[in-house]
Each structure stands twice: as structure tokens, then as C-alpha cells.
Amino acid sequence: MHSYFKNLAKEFLYSSNFQCNQNEIARKIYDTLSKSYKAKDNEVKMVTKLCAALNEEKCGAAKLYAAKIHGKRSYVEFYNGSNERKVKELADMVIISLVTSGEKIILEKIALIQNKKEEKEGTVKWKIDQDQLFLLNNMPIFDGVSGLFSKRKNITLPNIYGQLGNYGLLYSNGDMAFANAKIINALQDGATISFDKIRNETARDNIFYHTNMLFHPIYNEISIITRSPIFGTCDIALNLYQFVRNWTQLNVGETVVTGGMCTSNILLGLTECIFKKMKLDNKFNFNILKEEKIRDLEIDFNGAVFVLRYDFA
């Protein structure tokens, strides 16, 4: 198993083809969003065009699948910090990262993302709904209302490293900053987050890469002590290039499978249903899902899904 990660580490660190592909994907995202901004598109149209632009793209040994799924928006009901029942959207974008060997999943991560455009064009500031932030930051027990987890009760999602709930902060030149909810919660001024606040935070010594030693698949094989540009976690990406680099180097999202072992049945069931919605079930036929999936999970979704798969068949 560790040989897969050794091969990936070599690709991430030494493959010029992989690094060129990273830059090409970032540039394609930037060009698509820039044109979409100029056309005055809303968030839905922007991500729809982005899905069309990125589907079937390659990044070194990886392949990218993208789709805009048309269904019900994903609302959930939960108690907020004031102990009031609230209904908010859980996510309008899902990013899944996979390392596989044929039908076997070696590593899987998932990130739920809420996209936001600037409150006013050119300000590089975003208004943050505090109840939605409470949801994405804390991942409290919730009931599904529509979309993801529709009509299911008392759902708990693991968020051990605070990487499950995130924001994609779109700004007017067609770029995007990425920050997980715990960063937004810590840095917001009132109910507003600014690019300057996020950028200043990156000066902190420990902000970019953290190695998840508990779930780290190769910590015995590669000398990584306190931080890693691969297989770790990403709190902040200031622009699309940083985001694509982190995503393709498997730093984005909460762990679902590591070392071939499932850490969350409900997230695993969620990803299986998403693959079916994307019509990828004919390409993705994983043994672990047959054994551990939640069989009664019926999922609807309205939003963009991006799947990055490294397969070493």
C-alpha cells in the first residue's frame, strides 16, 4: 500500500508534467471565472461553466471529473449557538479526492464548500451568514430538510480536523480564495470577512500545511515531522493557483478512507450516491462501498461536484 503513496509523493515533488498540469488547470479555472464575472453570471452559472471546462481534464497521473447536478438545494435544520432552530444550506459544491488501486480505495477525502461572491464588486469582502457559519464550523447534529441527507434525522458528520466545511470566496477579477470555516470564524470582523484578514493570517508560521499524523498513510515511510505539502490539510489558499496545488496534492478536505480503512460510513455512503448522480458508477466500482455503504441513503443535490482520482490499477 505504501508504494502508492511513494509514487504519488514522487509525482507531486518531482514530476514537471504534473506541475505543468497543475498550472494549466488553475489557468483554465481562472479564465472561466473571469469570463463569467464579465458576463455578470451568478454563482450557479459560474460553477456550471466551470464544470464544463474541467470535466475529463488530467493532472499527471490523475483524472478530473466534474458535473453540475440539478436537483434540490441542500438545506438542513439544526440548533445554532443561541439554541434556536435554524434551516441553512449545507453546501453548493462538493470536492472529492481519491487514491485508488482498481476497485480498492486507498485514500479518500471530501470537502463541502459554500461559494460566495463579493458583497460589493471590487471590495474583496464577503458577508457571512452567521448561522450558516455555525453549521459549517461546528457540524452540529442536524436533520436533513432537502438535498443532501433529505429527510434523515440526527445526522452527525465527522469534522476531526475542521476540514469538512469550507468557503470558496469569489472575487471580481475571476479569482477565488479558499478558507475553511474555522478560519472564517476566527478572522471575521462582525459578519464580514476580508481578503486582507485572510492574507495577513498566512504570515503565521503554521498556517498552510499540517500533517494529519493520526490518519497519515505514509508517516512511517516518509520523513515528515510537523508539516507537509502533500497528504496534509489546507486551511487557506489565497488564489486559484494555491487552491489547485493543495487540492491536487491531496491537502483539501476531511478524511473518509485512509490506508484502505473507512473512517466514516455516512460520508462514504454520501460519496457513493454522488458518484451515481454524476453517472460515474459505471467507472467507479469500489469494493469497500459494497461492504460498508449505508443502503437506505437517498441523496439529492443541486450544485457542482469535482472528483479527482489517482488510480494505480
Domain boundaries, the chain: 2-311
- Grid coordinates of 229: 505539502
Q: What is the dihedral of CA 33, 311, 294, 217, to 10 degrees?
A: -100
Cell 444550506: give the residue: 89
CB count, 10 Å around CB of 12?
Answer: 19
pLDDT for the residue 82: 93
User: What is the average per-residue pLDDT within 224-242?
Assistant: 78
Three-class SS string for 124-135?
CEEECCHHHHHH
Cell 472575487: give the residue: 171
| 216, pLDDT greater than 60 | no
| 183, pLDDT greater than 90 | yes
| 93, pLDDT greater than 70 | yes
8-state DSSP, 281: T
Helix (H) or strand (E) holding 44: helix 43-54
- Grid coordinates of 25: 488547470
Of 202, 213, 12, the closest CA to residue 97 belongs to 12
State how far the Cα of 161 lies from the Cα of 186, in Å rounded to an integer.
15
User: Model pTM?
Assistant: 0.90
- Grid coordinates of 235: 486551511
Pairing mode, strands 104-117 and 175-180: unpaired
pLDDT for the residue 9: 77
What are the b/e assignments for 191-211, b being 16+ CB within 10 Å? eebbbebbeebeeeeeebbbb
Contact in structure between 25 and 54 (CB atoms under 8 Å)? yes
| 209, pLDDT greater than 80 | no
User: What is the average per-residue pLDDT within 68-84?
Assistant: 93
Pairing mode, strands 62-69 and 93-101: unpaired
Helix (H) or strand (E) holding 142: strand 142-146
Of 270, 264, 268, the closest CA to residue 300 belongs to 270
Residue 256's pLDDT band, with cuts at 50, 70 and 90, is: very high
How many Å is the Cα radius of gyration of the chain?
18
CB under 8 Å to 174, separation ≥6 — which residues? 30, 31, 32, 33, 34, 35, 36, 37
266-295 pLDDT, tens digit each: 898 888 888 888 888 778 877 666 555 554
Of 271, 299, 312, the closest CA to residue 65 belongs to 271
Of 115, 94, 136, the closest CA to residue 44 belongs to 115
3-state DSSP assignment of residue 73: coil
| Sequence letter at residue 62 | A
